[in-house]
Chain A
Amino acid sequence: MKKLLGFIVIVFGLVFIYAPIIILAVYSFLDTPNIGAAGNFTLDNYITLFTTEELSQMIWGTVILALVSAVISTFLGTIGAIGTYYSRRRTQAFVNTVNQVPVVNADVVTGFSICILLVILFGMSKETFFPLVVGHVTMCTPFVYLSVLPKLKQMDQSIYEAALDLGASPAHALMSVVIPQLAGGIISGFMLAVTLSLDDYFIATYTKPATFDTISTYVVNATRGSHTEIKTALWALSTVIFVLVVLIVIGMNLFSDNKEGKEKMQKA
């Protein structure tokens, strides 16, 4: 009885979460723009998706923006975490507090305030991509910082000293002794930065160049219009991303298929 109830809860949850995505995936292979209508199999949506220049430009734009922001964030957040960890108490308190601001803040406020500072006050052009990248780096870096910090705390502090005693320069010791110890935190910080940037809408709307679109801003504009061909091509995009995410999750599961890895994943 109890098991059955649990089973029902799980199935209900899965249906609620996945039914829309899967139904959309099915219809992305049909030639009707209306959910619920009958249609014939077609790959037109996928052909449109991969051959329309506007669409591929915005997809690559989003991916490149995510990678660039994530690389900068990962670098800044990692050295920031290391530096802060060995700083005075007051510096630590300052960084930890300010670091929390973009984490808890609404993205609308983050994006708006950066736009006000850079574009309105300093008169910087959005076309330079600088406000957009700064916005995304501001949003992502705190999370990198937060995922590297616990690794620093777990690390055996004496190995750095040992490396110095054995004649390594501080920079060398940092690169070959400290950084490898932090690798787990750095990698998950990087992945988090990529996903945050890919998912962002609000910071991009306030800081992006007028002619540049990320997936989010493009989709929102497309739903306002009534361009059926684009609408159904976006179903195909949704399906492609869904499949990619599934593959990545399966890959990660296989990759870290030991107990510890799984625990880490659950703990998030």
Chain B
Amino acid sequence: MRFSRKMLAVPYIIFLVCFVVLPLLVLFYYAFTGSDGYFTINNLLDFFTDPNTTGTLVYSMMIALMVTIVCLAIAYPLALVLSFADIPRKGALVMVFVMPMWINFTLRVTALKEILTFFEGNLAYHPLFNTVIGMTYDFLPFMILPLYNSISRMDRSLLEAASDLGSSKLHAFMKVTLPLSVPGIIAGISMVFLPAMTNYVVLDMLYNSTYIMGSLIGSYFSAYDWHNGSMIALVLLVIICIFTLLSEGGEDNTRGGALL
């Protein structure tokens, strides 16, 4: 058989089928079967009728929303200042803001935890506040980077044109900079919102005992309940799908943006 470059795709295709497609099918299978192995939609019904699970869904969405808003509120001014700053070696400064991404997140959260303990004494008194701060701390670089990229890619002459045509600084920002940074905002939101719904380690480490979607999977997993666990995973997948389709317009600046 003659070698052709197409053949190089074969190992990766096999790998993707085995370890991406197949696990998803298995997830479907477990989600829609009971422990007796027969088809059932009880897991789905249970999820939406049990106040604990629906409550968890609402709570994680609320946390994710708050974290996203706080991240955006901190990252947007930073990205704006960074992209318009006229300083030498700006690239290096941007790197400084993105660098924490490369420090293991559990160690970073440990650092934050010690600081919060110093200020609050007992962390258990402010679980929600700590969680939002903790996640903001963890995810902030992932919001700064796409925002910075989209704002610095903007055509500066548009702003000059706006001011030549008599618009004020604020007006120009609202009509030019903000709309043009929307792809960055969308990319940033999708990189913060979804992890905020699932990253239960931050809650664990900051002694917030309330469950979010990720912790539900974890708890079913430790209870050997693969069927309900798979259902939660499936619900999460659907949410992720909706989100991905909605943010299609954003730049594809996923975790891949973490390096070079």
Contacts and interface: CB of A to CB of B under 8 A. Distances in A.
B104 A223 contact: no
B253 A199 contact: no
Interface stretch (B41-49, B50-58, B171-179, B230-238): B230-238
Contacts of A199: 101-102, 104-105
A170 interface: yes
B1 interface: no
Contacts of A262: 91
Main secondary structure of the interface of A (DSSP, over half): helix
Contacts of B19: 114, 117, 134, 137-138
B249 interface: no
A21 B103 contact: yes
B236 A108 contact: yes
Contacts of A248: 102
A266 B24 contact: no
A41 interface: no
B159 to A, nearest CB: 14
Nearest to B257: A268
Query: What range describes how many residues of B lie at the interface?
Result: 35 or more
Contacts, number: 282
Given A20-B111, A95-B12, A117 B229 contact: no
Contacts of A112: 27, 217, 221, 229-230, 233
Query: What range describes how many residues of A lie at the interface?
Result: 35 or more
A95 B16 contact: yes
Interface string B77-116: 1100110110000111111111111111111101111110
A76 B256 contact: no
A124 interface: no
A109 B22 contact: no
B247 to A, nearest CB: 9
B5 to A, nearest CB: 4
Contacts of B254: 103-104
Contacts of A115: 221
B26 A6 contact: no
A48 interface: no
Contact of B91 (A36, A76, A237, A265): A265
B201 A13 contact: no
A242 B108 CA distance: 10
Interface of A: 6, 9-10, 13-14, 16-21, 23-24, 27, 34-36, 76-77, 79-80, 82-87, 91, 94-95, 98-110, 112-117, 120-121, 134, 137-138, 141, 143, 145-147, 169-171, 174, 188, 191-192, 195-196, 198-199, 201-202, 205-206, 215-216, 219-220, 223-224, 234-235, 237-238, 241-242, 245-246, 248-249, 253, 262-268
Interface pairs A-B: 9 shortest CB-CB = A80-B12, A83-B9, A83-B8, A113-B23, A20-B111, A219-B106, A188-B260, A262-B91, A238-B107
Interface of B: 3-13, 15-17, 19-24, 26-27, 30, 74, 77-78, 81-82, 84-85, 90-108, 110-115, 117-118, 137, 140-141, 145, 148-149, 152, 190, 194-195, 197-201, 204-205, 214, 217-218, 221, 226, 229-230, 233, 236-237, 240, 243-244, 253-260
